[in-house]
């Protein structure tokens, strides 16, 4: 018996070494952790249970039958994070560059199936040279099997991808199908085709970092939700993300005990809005001063920063926050900000996380660039997302809510449950200047002082229309609230809405304008 036990221990020890000490050292020399070190860091101590440690590939081409590593380039299993069950796979770059074989895909699919069946989040730690070149079609089949499961799991369990090394070619599409992608600066990259292929096809000279690094993806493409400084910070971000999410689409999000008084006033909000309607202020101040303990986990901070999205809590209850940011492009809605917010609202709706929306938006961004790139199709996404969402929706208009942008930003008409406005709100079809140009432009030309005439008319328009009272008279705004009491009013509204039941007409699925 002892002999057999010793043999098991030996085999386990060999499997734990992955591609061997030399390759582990090479991984460390690049400033990277191994798959097992990453799992150890992310999961609660001693909670990891591994599957398929002895599984190995079946490839016999190119002498591969002699190149065997137990576990075959990925470590899979389950464990807990902050005491809550998760399923995980971590690609092991020390084994054939973490490249994806048929068997490696089978290991990943096994944990994906378990995650769906048992209703717990799936976390993928990616560090791989892509499809295993020696295998060919089997590797492609393996990727496709993973993609299918990503789609089946979407909206059923939260899926988070962390890119901790290379992620190239078709391999990018599994992370792309998941809910959040976290990358690390300088040591992770994602692209469909690498710099050499780019050079030969488009003659562009581009570095790996420029083409698919964390900075690029978190600011320009919007593919990544967060660019961490290193692997440790990336995993800490994952832990924070999970703390706001339920385990699956039938559970409620985890409520924690809050020590932040519900009635805490934020006096500074009473003087936050500048007298000049065109002057900016920082919407993050509104968010930070109203949510529990100023604790806000921002997502996609550097992509389309004219809209802010992220997670926070009110009285311990997780919420998604969406807010226009007047500090960037006056908080205008454009293609990127619409898509950013739409996807976030849909995530929250999938997982029963209420959405609180702070509105200060002058409208949609005009111009050929936006029109040519489909601001109509893309702007419709945010409208669609808010309209179909059945989660509790609380909206606070702090200043501008003009035109189509008023409609789309969680208005009453899109089933906003509670819609508040600050006394500084301006809710109208369009800004004063534009409105009087249309209404009085011709008449102004006949006046001795057209500028003064238009300025007077603009003031008249603003006094009559651009305030919250007209909308409140119609019931489109439920109340006009004191800014300093915004936290309390939101907490009360969310409490009132906690048992909200709403559903959409039966359908296979809608057809969001993609």
> Residue 97 CB, nearest distance to ligand HXC (Å)?
2
Is 405 a residue of the active site? yes
Cα–Cα dist 426/431, whole Å: 9
- Residues making up the chain, counted from first to last: 514
Of 79, 124, 129, 362, the one binding ligand HXC (CB under 6 A) is 129
Question: Is the distance from CB of 410 to CB of 359 less than 8 angstroms?
Answer: yes
Question: Exactly one of 312, 389, 405, 466 is catalytic; which is it?
Answer: 405
Q: Which is nearer to ligand HXC, 93 or 347 (CB)?
A: 93
Taking the complex as a whole, how short is the minimal distance between the CB of residue 104 and ligand HXC, in angstroms? 11
Residues facing 228 on adjacent strands: 184
Counting contacts by CB under 6 A, is residue 23 touching ligand HXC? Answer: yes
Does residue 143 interact with ligand HXC by CB under 6 A? yes
Region of 127-135, 228-236, 279-287, 454-462 interacting with ligand HXC (CB under 6 A): 127-135
Q: How far is the CB of 363 from ligand HXC (least distance, A)?
A: 41
Q: Is 197 in the site for ligand HXC (CB under 6 A)?
A: no
**Positions in 40-99 near ligand HXC (CB under 6 A):** 96-97, 99
Rounded to whole angstroms, how far apart are CA atoms 356 and 314? 10
Q: How far is the CB of 11 from ligand HXC (least distance, A)?
A: 21
HSE-CB of 381 using CA atoms within 13 angstroms: 21
Partnered with residue 312 across adjacent β-strands are 319
C-beta closer to ligand HXC: residue 200 or 499: 200
Nearer of residues 171 and 190 to ligand HXC, judged by Cβ = 171
Q: Rounded to the nearest whole angstrom, what is the least distance from the CB of residue 95 to ligand HXC in the complex? A: 8
- Going by C-beta distance under 8 Å and a sequence separation of 6 or more, which residues neighbour residue 61? 134, 135
Question: Which residue, among 351, 350, 362, 228, has the nearest Cα to 299 in the 3D structure?
Answer: 228
Check if 73 is active-site: no
Nearest distance, CB of residue 38 and ligand HXC, angstroms = 17
Cα–Cα distances (Å) from 458 to 15, 191, 241, 402, 445, in that order, read 75, 50, 46, 15, 15
Question: Is 455 annotated as catalytic?
Answer: no
- Asked if 131 touches ligand HXC (CB under 6 A), the answer is yes
The two most distant CA atoms of the chain are separated, in Å, by: 107
Active site residue 404: yes
Chain positions 162 to 181 lying near ligand HXC, rule: CB under 6 A, are: 166, 168-171
Residue closer to ligand HXC (CB basis): 137 or 506? 137
> Measuring CA to CA, which residue among 94, 104, 83 is closest to residue 23?
94
Please state the closest distance from residue 208 (CB atom) to ligand HXC, in A: 8
Query: Residue 119: CA atoms inside 13 Å, Cβ hemisphere, count?
Result: 9
Q: Which of 26, 222, 250 is nearest to 116 (CA)?
A: 250
C-alpha 403/C-alpha 476 separation (Å) is: 14
- Per the structure block, which two tokens stand in for 485? 């009491």
Compute φ and ψ for 416, nearest 5 degrees: -65, 130
Rounded to the nearest 10 degrees, what angle do helices 450-464 and 432-445 cross at? Answer: 140
H helices of 119-266, in order, are 137-153, 173-177, 195-202, 208-212, 214-216, 231-243
> Given 119, 155, 170, 222, which residue is catalytic?
170
Site string for ligand HXC, 368-407 (x = CB under 6 A): ----------------------------------------
Residue 132 touches ligand HXC, criterion: CB under 6 A: yes
32 binds ligand HXC (CB under 6 A): no
Q: Which of 140, 141, 465, 497 binds ligand HXC (CB under 6 A)?
A: 140
Active site residues: 169-170, 404-405
Q: Point out which residues bind ligand HXC (CB under 6 A).
A: 23, 96-97, 99, 129-133, 140, 143, 166, 168-171
């Amino acid at each position: 018996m002892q002999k057999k036990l010793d043999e098991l221990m030996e085999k386990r020890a060999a499997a734990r070494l992955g591609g061997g000490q030399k390759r582990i050292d090479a991984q460390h020399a690049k400033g990277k952790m191994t798959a097992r070190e990453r799992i150890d860091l992310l999961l609660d101590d001693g909670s990891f249970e591994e599957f398929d440690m002895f599984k190995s590939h079946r490839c016999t081409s190119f002498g591969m039958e002699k190149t065997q590593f137990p576990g075959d380039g990925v470590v899979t299993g389950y464990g807990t994070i902050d005491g809550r069950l998760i399923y995980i796979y971590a690609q092991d770059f020390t084994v054939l560059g973490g490249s994806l074989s048929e068997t490696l895909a089978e290991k990943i699919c096994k944990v994906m199936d378990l995650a769906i069946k048992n209703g717990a989040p799936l976390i993928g730690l990616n560090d791989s040279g892509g499809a295993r070149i020696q295998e060919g079609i089997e590797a492609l089949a393996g990727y496709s099997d993973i993609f299918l499961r990503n789609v089946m799991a979407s909206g059923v369990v939260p899926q988070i991808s962390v890119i901790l090394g290379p992620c190239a070619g078709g391999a990018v599409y599994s992370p792309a199908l998941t809910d959040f992608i976290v990358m690390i600066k300088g040591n992770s990259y994602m692209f469909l085709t690498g710099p050499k292929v780019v050079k030969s096809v488009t003659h562009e000279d581009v570095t790996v970092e420029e083409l698919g690094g964390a900075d690029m993806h978190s600011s320009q493409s919007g593919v990544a939700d967060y660019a961490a400084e290193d692997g440790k910070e990336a995993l800490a971000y994952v832990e924070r993300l999970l703390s706001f999410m339920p385990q699956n689409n039938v559970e409620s999000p985890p409520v924690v005990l809050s020590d932040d008084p519900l009635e805490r006033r934020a006096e500074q909000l009473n003087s936050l809005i500048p007298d000049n309607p065109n002057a900016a202020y920082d919407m993050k101040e509104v968010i930070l001063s109203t949510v529990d303990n100023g604790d806000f986990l921002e997502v996609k901070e550097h992509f389309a920063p004219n809209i802010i999205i992220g997670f926070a809590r009110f009285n311990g209850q997780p919420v998604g926050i969406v807010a226009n940011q007047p500090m960037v492009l006056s908080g205008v809605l454009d293609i990127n900000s619409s898509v950013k917010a739409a996807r976030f609202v849909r995530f929250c709706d999938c997982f029963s996380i209420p959405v609180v929306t702070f509105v200060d938006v002058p409208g949609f961004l005009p111009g050929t660039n936006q029109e040519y790139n489909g601001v109509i199709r893309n702007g419709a996404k945010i409208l669609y997302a808010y309209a179909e969402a059945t989660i509790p929706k609380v909206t606070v208009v702090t200043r501008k809510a003009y035109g189509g942008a008023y409609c789309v930003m969680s208005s009453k008409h899109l089933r906003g449950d509670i819609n508040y406005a600050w006394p500084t709100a301006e809710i109208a079809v369009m800004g004063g200047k534009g409105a009087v140009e249309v209404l009085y432009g011709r008449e102004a030309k006949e006046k001795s002082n057209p500028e003064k005439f238009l300025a007077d008319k603009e003031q008249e328009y603003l006094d009559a229309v651009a305030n919250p009272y007209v909308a409140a008279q119609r019931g489109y705004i439920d109340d006009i609230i004191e800014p300093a009491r915004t936290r309390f009013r939101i907490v009360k509204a969310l409490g009132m809405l906690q048992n909200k039941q709403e559903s959409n007409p039966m359908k296979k699925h809608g057809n969001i304008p993609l």
